[in-house]
Structure 1
Amino acid sequence: MARGIYIHIPFCHQICNYCDFNKFYFKNQPVDEYIEALGKEMALTVDKHPESFTQIETIFLGGGTPTALSPEQLTRLLTLIRTYIPMDGVTEFTSEANPDELSEAKMRALFDGGVNRLSMGVQSFDQDLLKKIGRTHSNAHVYETIALAKKVGFRNISIDLMYGLPGQSMEQWRDSLEKAFALELPHFSAYSLIVEPKTIFYNQHAKGKLKLPTEDLEAEMYDVLMQEMEAHGLHQYEISNFAYEGFSSVHNKIYWENDEYAGFGAGAHGYLNGVRYSNHGPLKKYMDTLEIGELPIIYEHEVTDAEKREEQMFLGLRKTDGVSHILYEGKFGESMHVRYGQVIEKLVAEGLLEHDENGIRLTRKGRFVGNEVFQEFLLED
Structure 2
Amino acid sequence: MARGVYIHIPFCHQICNYCDFNKVFFKNQPVDEYIEAVGKEIEMAVRKSPEQFQEIETVYLGGGTPTALSAKQITRLLHHINSILPTDQLIEFSSEANPDELTEDKLEALINGGVNRLSMGVQSFDQQLLKKLGRTHTNEHVYETIELAKKIGFDNMSIDLMYGLPGQTMEQWEDTLMKALELDLPHYSAYSLIVEPKTIFYIQYAKGKLSLPTEDSEADMYELLMKKMAEKQKEQYEISNFAMDGHISTHNKIYWDNDEYAGFGAGAHGYLRGIRYSNYAPIKKYIETIQNNEQPLLREHKVSFEEKCEEQMFLGLRKNEGVSFEQFEKKFGVSMKKLYGNTIEQLKIEDLLLEDEKGVKLSHKGRFVGNEVFQRFLLED
Q: 2 CA distance for matches of 1:60 and 1:48?
A: 21
Cα deviation, residue 118, structure 1: 0.2
* Equivalent residue letter for 1:44: M
Distance 1:74 1:326 in 2: 43
Structure 1 position 181 matched with structure 2 position 189: no
Q: Which amino acid aligns with 1:107?
A: L
How far did 1:83 drift?
Answer: 1.2
Q: Could you tell me which residue of structure 1 aligns to residue 96 of structure 2?
A: 96
Residue of structure 2 equivalent to 1:61 = 61
Aligned to 2:266: 266
Question: Which residue identity is paired with 2:108?
Answer: R
Residues 107-143 of structure 1 show CA distances to partners (whole Å, capped at 9, x for unaligned) of 0000000000000000000000000010000000000
Q: 2:315 is aligned with what amino acid?
A: L
Other structure's SS at 1:2 match: coil
Give the match's secondary structure for 2:88. Answer: coil
Residue in structure 1 matched with residue 151 of structure 2 by the alignment: 151
Please give the alpha-carbon distance, in whole angstroms, between the structure 2 residues aligned to 1:127 and 1:356: 45
Q: Matches of residues 341-380 of structure 1 in structure 2 within 5 Å?
A: 341-380=341-380
Residue number in structure 2 paired with 1:114: 114
What corresponds to 1:294 in structure 2?
A: 294
Show CA shifts across 1:40-85 (max 9, x none).
1001111122111010000000000000000000000000001111
Secondary structure of 1:158's partner? strand
Q: CA deviation at 1:330?
A: 1.1
Q: Give the match's secondary structure for 2:101.
A: coil
The Cα shift of 1:327 comes to 1.0
Query: 4+ residue runs of structure 1 moved beyond 2 angstroms?
Result: none
2:252 and 2:167 map into 1 onto residues whose CA distance is: 30
Q: Aligned equivalents of 1:27 and 1:92: distance in 2?
A: 31
Give the letter aligned to residue 5 of structure 1.
V
Residue 83, structure 1, aligned to residue 88, structure 2: no
What SS is found at the alignment partner of 1:299?
Answer: strand
Q: Secondary structure at the match of 1:88?
A: helix
One-letter identity of the residue aligned with 2:324: S
Query: In structure 1, what is the Cα distance between the partners aligned to 2:299 and 2:36?
Result: 23
Rounded to whole Å, the distance in 2 between the matches of 1:317 and 1:46 is: 32
Cα distance in structure 2, aligned partners of 1:91 and 1:351: 37
Match of 1:140 in 2: 140
Residues of 1 paired with 2:22 and 2:380: CA distance?
Answer: 32
- Percent of aligned pairs sharing the same letter: 69
The answer for the alignment partner of 1:242 in structure 2 is: 242
For 2:65, the aligned partner's letter is: T
Cα deviation, residue 254, structure 1: 0.2
Question: Which 5+ residue runs of structure 1 have no aligned equivalent?
Answer: none
Shift in Å, 1:89: 2.4
Q: Who is 1:34 aligned against?
A: 34
Task: Give CA deviations for 1:300-320 in whole Å, capped at 9, x if unaligned.
Answer: 001111111110011000000
What is the rounded CA distance, in whole Å, between the counterparts of 1:88 and 1:28 in structure 2?
Answer: 35
Residue 281 of structure 2 corresponds to residue 319 of structure 1: no
Distance (Å, rounded) in 2 between the aligned partners of 1:29 and 1:2? 31
Task: Find the aligned partners of 2:49 and 2:284 in 1 and give their Cα distance.
Answer: 25
- Partner Cα distance (1:173, 1:330) in 2: 43
CA distance in structure 2 between the partners assigned to 1:103 and 1:113 by the alignment = 15
2:282 is the counterpart of 1:282: yes
For residues 14-52 of structure 1, what are the alpha-carbon distances to aligned partners after superposition, in whole Å with 9 as ceiling and x for unaligned? Answer: 000000000000000000000000011001111122111
Output the CA distance in 2 between the equivalents of 1:380 and 1:19.
33
Q: Residue 45 in 1 paired to residue 45 in 2?
A: yes
Offset at residue 88 of structure 1 (A): 3.4
Aligned partner of residue 34 in structure 1, secondary structure:
helix
1: distance between equivalents of 2:325 and 2:337? 9
Structure 2 Cα separation of the partners of residues 354 and 189 of structure 1: 24
TM-score, L = length of structure 2: 0.99
Residues 253-276 of structure 1: CA distance to partner in whole angstroms, max 9, x if unpaired? 000000000000000000011110
Q: Counterpart of 1:60 in 2: which secondary structure?
A: strand
- Tell me the CA shift for residue 329 of structure 1: 1.1
- Distance in 2, matches of 1:241 and 1:375, equals 21
In structure 2, what is the Cα distance between the partners aligned to 1:79 and 1:259? 27
- For the aligned residue pairs, the C-alpha RMSD in angstroms reads 0.5
AA at the equivalent of 1:264: F
2:89 and 2:304 map into 1 onto residues whose CA distance is 29
What CA distance in whole angstroms lies between the structure 2 residues aligned with 1:33 and 1:318?
38
Q: Given residue 173 of structure 1, which amino acid in structure 2 is its aligned partner?
A: W
Aligned match of 2:192: 192
5+ long unaligned stretches in structure 2: none
Q: Provide the rounded CA distance (Å) in 1 between the counterparts of 2:187 and 2:25.
A: 29
Residue 331 of structure 1 is matched in structure 2 by 331
Distance in 1 (CA, whole Å) between partners of 2:213 and 2:301 is 38
DSSP-derived class of the 2:87 partner? coil
